[in-house]
Chains A and B, each alone.
Chain A
């Protein structure tokens, strides 16, 4: 399995990469870690005329605290997210999610940015960035713009990036005290991708009231989404196991059409979405209460 021939560019800076991308237009594909693109190219499902390898742009590889948020460069690998002391302390949902991605070798190569830009309906990070209400920064030769996670995932394998744009940064919040997060995933047994992945972020207020809660789901439908009905059923109420179980029943709203394939029927996915949302909420609550879980 050998990819079709292509013209290769390895720009050293973002500016150079953006210029190349604008020059070659839709004949070009960006290559980051290559762990989504190369498998497609080997199967000849993708055969770009030109490949722009941004893997050498070190300036896109960082995790740092900035203006009260944590900024993550698009080329940061899953392993770097997993091991980041800053994220573990201040936004553990991302390391918790990275822990569930693929295997060691995949985590050593795959990058945050392209995992998001690829908008694979079974990828893990989309659930987490939705639950964190993250911001995504896209750059092109015309400048940069910031998108919210909620508007980023458009459809199956389609993100809200315009032609000529590169995702450069993901910004996540520093979570307030009494916040618990969790990612729970049902693995596709062969590929390891998510049949269902649920990310929860829950903050408790005085008297054990759910002050803020957000739930992101991946794997279920053609694109990742926020389970708004689950959140509504929880917000402002006193947290209890019963409350969480009841809320989780709203995991798959009417407007989401669950995927159905060889591994999981739409009915099974829907049933599992309810189970995994409940589990993610239970863990997030326990952590918000300071219980190790």
Chain B
């Protein structure tokens, strides 16, 4: 039996009838075609599937689409628009500038986890950045460049506010 759900994804209202057991990540990828949200482990560990739900980072493989009914969702595809400068979001730019990625599999989730951090803590210490991405695994970079990328974004966002 289907359930009709409605949510705003990247600023656009979406409405679909879905099976209650449909996971949010499958809704985003298979129903909406937003394949930027990756599936890594499927077991709530790797964070590749991280999206923002009501501004908070969540693992979309551990959420039913019906649980997000009525919510505001941001995926990597919608992030640039939040940057407010017409181009890439400062965190995306940081990953570009500082070599924050190699294969890129973990990157969308990493970026969204970092965005949540910078919303609440605009000047994070290295230790705070590492803690904020503790739920996101990267098998390539060794994390150092990711930390650099987030620091770059923090500086850039602070400069833009001035």
Contacts and interface: CB of A to CB of B under 8 A. Distances in A.
Asked whether A and B interact, the reply is yes
B63 A109 contact: yes
Contact of B135 (A5, A51, A104): A104
Contacts of B3: 8
A38 B63 contact: yes
A206 to B, nearest CB: 39
Interface string A4-21: 111110100000000000
Contacts of A108: 53, 56-58
A109 B58 contact: yes
A34 interface: yes
Contact of A35 (B23, B62, B116, B131): B62
Interface residues of A, number: 29
A53 B63 contact: no
Interface residues of B, number: 32
A102 interface: yes
A102 B132 CA distance: 11
Contacts, number: 77
B113 A104 contact: yes
A41 B134 CA distance: 24
B43 A1 contact: yes
Interface in B77-123: 113, 116-117
Contacts of B72: none
Contacts of A10: 66, 69
B66 A8 contact: yes
A103 interface: yes
Given A34-B62, A55-B67, A104-B57, A39 B44 contact: yes
A4 B21 contact: yes
A191 B57 CA distance: 19
Given A2-B26, A6-B20, A105-B50, 6 more contacts: A5-B19, A5-B20, A8-B20, A41-B21, A102-B135, A104-B134
Interface of A: 1-8, 10, 31, 34-35, 38-39, 41-42, 51, 53, 55, 79, 102-106, 108-109, 190-191
10 contacts: A3-B21, A6-B21, A8-B20, A10-B66, A42-B23, A55-B67, A104-B57, A104-B117, A105-B113, A190-B45
Interface of B: 1, 3, 19-21, 23, 26, 42-45, 47, 50, 53, 56-59, 62-64, 66-67, 69, 113, 116-117, 131-132, 134-136
